[in-house]
Amino acid sequence: MRDESATDTSPRWRDPKRYLWPLGLTIPLSPFLAWGLVSL
């Protein structure tokens, strides 16, 4: 027997900042970006 009432009444959690996670990669990747710009 499936209990769907528990899943239907629970609010769905949404992360409004989930699209901003690539911005967290800018600082760790900055030395490689700088190296790429210097080698142009």
**pTM score:** 0.47
Rounded CA gap, 7 and 19, in Å?
Answer: 25
> How far apart (Å, rounded) are the C-alpha atoms in residues 35 and 40?
9
Q: Which string of b and e fits 4-27 if b means at least 16 CB within 10 Å?
A: eeeeeeeeeeeeeeeeeeeeeeee
At 11-32, the pLDDT tens digits run: 788 888 888 888 999 999 999 9
Which residue bears the tokens 């949404």? Answer: 14
Q: What pLDDT was estimated at residue 2?
A: 58
Give me the torsion for CA of 23, 28, 34, 35, rounded to 10°: -140
